[in-house]
Every structure is written in structure tokens, then in C-alpha cells.
Structure 1
Amino acid sequence: MNTLFNWVAIAGTCALLAACNSGDSTSSNQPAPSGFKVQPADGAAIITWNQELNVNYWLFGAQSSSVTVQNVLSQPGSILIDGVTSPYVSTGLTNGLVYSYLMNANTGSDKAGPATAAVSVVPVASGYTWTNGAPMAAANIYGQTFNLGTYVAVGAGGAALTSSDGATWTPQSTGTTEDLYAATYTSSLAAVYVAVGANGTIVTSPDGVTWKVQTSGSITSANLRAVTQNGSYYVAVGDNGTVMTSTNAYDWTLQAAPTSSNFYGITYDSTNSTFYAVGQGGLLMSSTDGWQWTTLNSGTTQDLYSIATGNSLWVAVGANGTIVQSADAGTWYPQTSNTSENLYSVVYGSQFVAVGGGGIALNGTTTGTAWTGSNPQTSSDLRSVSFFYYRLLALGTGGTNTLSY
């Protein structure tokens, strides 16, 4: 999980400032940290730098357009943090206000050296303004996941790409030419990225760069459309009711199919320790263990492609602008989307957001009942949306990638 820090007032002392500010660069053996970067997010700021071994880093910040090592403690909402590691996320910020950060470093018992230049950002609520990145590749992108500092996107022809910021992407080789439809990551199990796709394909990677094809194809040839995990095991679902589970991402067990219909999406709700899967013809099922499933009445016969939970609510989206919402995961109600485009993916961040065909993006507030459109600056189909690092990232056909924060 991201390192989180809520803004607090820190009672500074002369001794503390003396430790983190030498006042004379010749008394320190450590130069200003390189690659210092601050990115705005939704109620947060993402701070990264080129971290070196055995170097201790000090972070300074405040709600101000001008912050220095010397004045930081006199600024509103000031922070002075010793021992931070990259990447660092400063949360609890107020959208629309200016925040500034800088950093210096020390080694051993030496005083800290010179500081970086201050960098200012303005956090902005996500889901309203979108910024396109350069096309990732010719491949259509179907799924994505994230581990601290690294996005991984997967798609057609075995495509996989990595990014540290969601805007600049590097192609990787997965060792397969099969389409990859979804990906997940958890450090609680094998600490690897897992991607699933056509003809039972499963590939894994420890870093998003080096991939290995697993032997699931000998277990099933069904298309695997979605994958998630609960911290104890992975669950992948796909065509013809296919369900597969694994405790290590390498050895997979084919479970008895709970339905003959196709699954298209899955999520895990940690608040009630339950998996929810959606699919063909309004299919909606739940499971507490990943292999015994109960059918729920979604209230629609439209295909459902994605499901998300948040704010003690559940939202599923699908074909022809279909949105259904529930306050108990038992009784579902159709919502008005004002679009006939297919909605391929939904996520809960600071609110529900759904994306789909023709570049459609919808904000569903925190209730999932009042949906309004926003312009993601593309007419390409958006197949996947995530909310990592307090930023929305939507990916789609032709390598389309667009960020909102």
C-alpha cells in the first residue's frame, strides 16, 4: 500500500532544524537529492526522487507557494519528516490550494546537505479533467494493475507495458502472443504481477518487466477475462463459468463451474470478505471462498463487464450504458447513465467512475446513483479504469491512456 501521511502541524525545534539543515553545504557529504518530482493528485501529492542506499532523506512541505528549509515551520500546515522513502504520498490535502515541497539528505551522523528547489502543486478532484498521454503502442489495452511506484498495463497480442507515472510507458515482453485481458498484484502472496487472458493464458512477473508463462493452458483452454485476490489466494474467472484459484500465482486449480455463462469481471470486497463476479446476460454471483458461488439477481439481462465496491455500496456496469447499484449486494437497482455506449470498467476512488465505448467517462458521485459525463479527451474505447496514487487512469484501444487528477 502507499505510504500515507496526513498533514499535521509539527512543533519544530532548533535542534531538529539543525539536524536537517546544515546551513553550510561544506559540512555535509550529501548533495541535494536528484530527480525530485511532485505530482498533483486527488487530495494528495505524489513525491518521488532517485533514492540511494544508506542515505537518509528529509521532506519539507507546507500549504504555501514558497517553502524553504528555514521558513517551513512558520508556514500553515507545515510538515518536516525524517526518513522518508520514495515514492511518498502526502494525503489529506485540500483540492484547489497550493502546496509546496522540497527535500535534502544526510548520511550517518553528518548534517543534511543543500536542499532541492521547492516544487509547488495544486491537488484537483479526479474524474472531471483528463489529460492524455502519448499512445502507449498499437496494441489495444484491456487491463491494468499497480504496485508501489509501477503501473502495469496488458492487452492484445500479449502486450505488457510499465510506467512510473501513468503517462510515459515502456513495452515489455511477456513471452506470449495471446490477448491478455486483466491483471492484479499483491505483496501478500507471491509478490508478483499476474495477468490472465485468451485460451487459459496466465503470465506472472516479479517486476512487470520479466514475465513467465504459467501452465494453466493445460488445465483450461477457456478465455480468462478477469483476476483478483484477497491476500490469501488469487481467483481468475472467464468463459463458460470458468473459475480458477491459486495460492502462489504459479499452481492453479480449476474449480467446478458455477454457471455455463461467461464471466467478464470480478472484485473482492474486503469489508465483507466476499468476491463478486459479473458477466453474460446480467450474471452476478458472490463467493466467500472463490469456489462456492451464489447467484444474485442483478435486475438486468444486459451483459455486465465490471463491478466495484466503495462507501458501503456496490456498482456494476455493462452493455448499452447499463448501471446497477446496491446498498446491500442483495437488491440491485438500475441507474440512469444517459449513454448507450458499453461501459467496460468501474472503480471507486473518491467517487464511483465508469468508462467505456467512444471515450465515455461518467462520474457517479459517492452514491453511484447520479451519473454525469466528463470529457476524457479521446474518442477511443476505454476498457479499464483504476484509482491508484489518488489518480484515475483510463486505458483503451490503440494504446489510449488518459489521467485525471
Structure 2
Amino acid sequence: MSTINPSDIAKLLAIAGFALFQTSCGSSSSESLIPPVNPPINPGNPPGVPQFVQVVAGDGNSSEIQNTISWALDPDATDYTVYWDNVPGVSDASSVVVPAASGTRYVIHSDVDVLAGNTYYYRVSANSAGGSSALSNEVAGTPQRSMTGRSLNDVAWNGTDTLVAVGDSGVILTSPNGTDDAWVDVSVAAVPEPLTGVTWEGVNSQFMIVGASSTVLTGDGTNWVQEDLSNIAGARNLQDVAWLGNRYIAVGNNGAIVTSNADGSVWTLQDAGGAVMNTSFNAVATDSNQIVIVGSNGTILNSLDAVTWTEQAKPLNNDLNDITWDGNQFVAAGSNDAMLTSPDGLTWTAHNPGTSDIRFSAVTQWDSGPPLLPVLGAVGSAGTFVTDPDADPGAIIRTGTTEQLGGLTWVDDGVAAPYFVIVGNDGTVMTVQYE
């Protein structure tokens, strides 16, 4: 065994001391610097599970049908991952949506992955430096293609197996459901006028359609009869129609109010007075007692018999474009984000739907009668769709389109999960299985 000379130990200690002195004095020698060891940074916890996940499915005036998946923003999330499959049971091993377009709270799924009449299932994960959340509840969408490029203005459901959508240039589309089964064009060649309103009633078991030039059609959803309004002087551009329990009422431009006999084959012009003769009446609804008409510049009229009318004090001056009765209250919607509710059609409360400068054109219609727990929705300009618009604010759901949306109905056959059907400009047809 070799021995170490004490003088060598002294030399080594001297060299080590000089190196330490150089380091403490800020030597620039990289060989003498020892990098500090920093404690690990805690990235925090993963974000919460994404909430309010929705799918809007259909044809929103694009070259392809699409599903738009949206969710509520989480301030702790930096981005989101959307998983999908064409069978239930989506997991984080499923395919990831490659979006055709996306934003901070939505992605659009289209291209060759999405075919008309097929159902697609989705779950969403929120991501951050702290990791990924658990997957959201599973949601589904079944898109269908529109059969027209014409603007669609209204849509109604008969409560069992038929949807009817109406629009410009006399277009009429029908589908059993708007999801699994395609839309079919059943327009009447002899009726080229714009069609603006449609409703269903079960007494005569028929749809009623109204439109420009005093156009009135009745039918079963496929076959149509044009009713004769030649006894009413002048052509009336009718905007909306409602069933009063024993007859119809239709309203339109220039103060037009017409009522029918029981089956809609004979019509009578009503007089609401000279003060409203230049007013555009845009929509009408009833709670089986009070009949309410809304129109331009905030006009609201009431009647108990559809003959004698009283104009109410205007709660606002915005155009009111649609009205519905949801079983508990009247809801009227209009331009510049106008949203009103009333328990009796006489006293009105204004609400903030949470939108900015939107022209609302329609609120949910329940032509076959409102359900026990109605889900209120409103649609309008820039592809806007808001649920619970009277909640101050409502909840905005991304639709994947910027088209003006014109009609909205609710489908609940008691078998499949209920859903909204939305129609709009340039042939837009969409469904939303509201979660």
C-alpha cells in the first residue's frame, strides 16, 4: 500500500482553498462554478371537469355538415382536448377531434369524419400545467343536411313524428325527426311566396302555414291545400299564426289580424284600430285565455276574444319579433337583445340575455303543448343561440354558424332524449340535444 506524504496533503489543501477563494470572489471560470439547485415548482392541480358541454349538429350553411362541440370556460385551463367515437363509451383512448375551426370554448368537427344521419359521441378534457381533468359527461349529435339554400323562417313539430320548416320562395321541408331521417322538400309549386310562420294543432291534426300575399296552407306535413282569402281586400303579408283552441289567428304587416273558422278554411279580417294600422305585427301567442300580439317598436296588444284589442304601454321601443307561452309565462324577444316576460300578458319584465346587439327572431315554440319542465331558448342574428334567456344572463351555446337563425322548436317524444330544432338563413337546419 502506498503512503501519502504529509507535504502533498498540505499542497492539496492549499489548492482547494485557493479554488474556494476564487469562487467566492466571483471567478468567471466555468469549471469552478457549481449551479444552484432550485426546489421543484408545484404546477398546481389539474382543472375541473368541463361543464355545460353541448353539441349543435347539422348544416349551418357550410360546404359540409358539422358538429359544434362547446363547453363553459374554466379559468384554470390552458386548453381542451375533445375525444370522439361513433359508438357510446368515449374514453381518453378514443380519437381526438381535429377541428375544422375552433375557439377558446368550442371546436367544429366536420370533413370526412362526419356523415349525415350518423350519431357521434364526445367527451372533453381540460388541460393545464397541473395535468388533465377527468372527462366530461358524454354528449351526442346527429347532423342532417339541408335540402335548400333558401332562408328558413320557422319550424314546428306535431308532437309525434313530423317536423315542418318553412322559408323564402315557398320552400317547405319535412323530416320525421331532423336527426336520423333526412329533410325532404315538399314545397308547393303554385306557392312561390315567402312563408314566414307554421304551427301544428291536434284538433284538426294539421299544420297551418302563413306567408306573404295572404298565403295560407293547411296540410299533414307532406300534402298541402291553399286556403282562399280572396274575401279579404288587399294582399296581406302574414308573419305568424297560432291556434286558439277552436280557430286560428294570423298576424302580419300593416296591422293585419285575421281569424278563421275551426278548420282554417274561412277567414275574417279583424280591426285593432287606426293607431296600429301601420304597425308590423310579428308574432302571436295565447295561454288559452289571454291572446297577445307583439310587433314593431315594442308594440303589445291584448285580447280575450281576438276581436276587441287593447294596446299596452310599451315596456321598451325595440321591435318585438316573436312570443311564446311556456306554460308559466309569456316570453317575447326582439331586436337589440330585447327579452321580456309576463305572467299574464299585461305586466312585463325586461331581462338581460347576456348578448350584445343581437336581433332575436324566435323563442322556443311548443306547438303540441309545453312540457312539464319547458326549456326556453332564443335564436337570432350572428348564429346566436341562448338557453334560459330570462335568467339574467342566459347561457350562450356556440352553433358554428354566423347565419341569422329564424325558428326554434322542441322535440320530446318520450322515448329519445329531447332536443331543440333550429332553422335559419341559407337553409340552416340544426339540432341540439340539450344537456
Out of 156, 161, 174, the position equivalent to 1:145 is 156
Per the alignment, in what secondary structure is the counterpart of residue 336 of structure 2? helix
Is the contact made by 2:287 and 2:327 (CA closer than 8 Å) also made in structure 1?
no
Match of 1:354 in 2: 378
- Give the Cα separation in 2 of the matches to 1:268 and 1:163: 27
Q: Equivalent of 2:281, from 263, 287, 300?
A: 263
TM, length-normalised to structure 1: 0.64
Shift of 1:305: 0.3
Q: Which residue of 2 aligns with 1:392?
A: 420
Q: Identity across aligned pairs (percent)? A: 27
Superposed CA offset, 1:291-314 (max 9, x none) = 222222341111000112225222
Give the C-alpha shift of residue 133 in structure 1: 2.8
Task: For 1:385, give the aligned amino acid.
Answer: L
Give 1:251's match in structure 2, choosing from 257, 266, 279: 266
User: In 2, Cα distance between the equivalents of 1:289 and 1:129?
Assistant: 45
Task: Tell me, yes or no, if the aligned pair for 2:272 and 2:308 is still in contact at 8 Å.
Answer: no
Give yes or no for the alignment of 1:200 onto 2:211.
Answer: no
Superposition deviation, residue 130 in structure 1:
7.0
Count of aligned pairs: 281
Residues 368, 233 of structure 1: CA spacing in aligned structure 2 closer, same or farther, 3 A cutoff?
farther
Higher Rg: 2
Query: Which amino acid in 2 is paired with 1:208?
Result: G
Give yes or no for contact 1:240–1:257 (8 Å, CA) kept in 2.
Answer: no
Q: CA contact under 8 A between 2:175 and 2:183: conserved in structure 1?
A: yes
Give how far 1:213 is off. 1.6
Q: TM-score, normalised by structure 2?
A: 0.60
Deviation per CA, 1:96-141, whole angstroms, max 9, x where unpaired? xxxxxxxxxxxxxxxxxxxxxxxxx99xxxxx98765312311111
AA at the equivalent of 1:161: L
Q: Which one of 199, 202, 213 corresponds to residue 184 of structure 1?
A: 199
Structure 2: stretches of 5+ with no match in the other structure: 1-87, 89-120, 123-138, 413-417
- SS of residue matched to 2:254: helix
Measure, in 2, the Cα distance between the counterparts of 1:130 and 1:234: 35
Distance 1:256 1:362 in 2: 36
Matched residues in 1 for 2:230 and 2:150: separation?
23
* 1:228 paired residue number: 242
Equivalent residue number for residue 403 of structure 2: 380
Distance 1:217 1:382 in 2: 32
**Alpha-carbon shift at residue 230 of structure 1 (Å):** 2.0
* Alignment deviations for residues 350-397 of structure 1 (CA, whole Å, 9 cap, x no partner): 3321000111011126x5543221112222111000112232111011
The question of whether the paired residues in 1 share the 8 Å contact of 2:155 and 2:422 is answered with no
Q: Shift of the alpha carbon at 1:255?
A: 1.3
Q: Distance in 2 between matches of 1:208 and 1:289?
A: 29
1:293 to 303, 306, 309: 309
RMSD: 2.8
Instruction: Give, in whole Å, the separation in 2 of the partners of 1:309 and 1:229.
Output: 12
Cα 1:176/1:217, change in 2 over 3 Å:
farther
Q: Which moved more, 1:343-352 or 1:226-235?
A: 343-352
Q: Secondary structure at the match of 1:312?
A: coil
Give the structure with the higher percent strand.
1
Are 2:290 and 2:345, in contact at CA under 8 Å, matched by a contact in 1? no
In structure 1, runs of 5+ residues without a counterpart are: 1-64, 66-120, 123-127
Letter in 2 for 1:371: G
Letter in 1 for 2:286: Y
Report what 1:403 is aligned to.
431
Structure 1 residue identity aligned to 2:399: P
Q: Which amino acid aligns with 1:159?
A: V
For residues 129 and 195 of structure 1, what CA distance do their matches in structure 2 show? Answer: 32
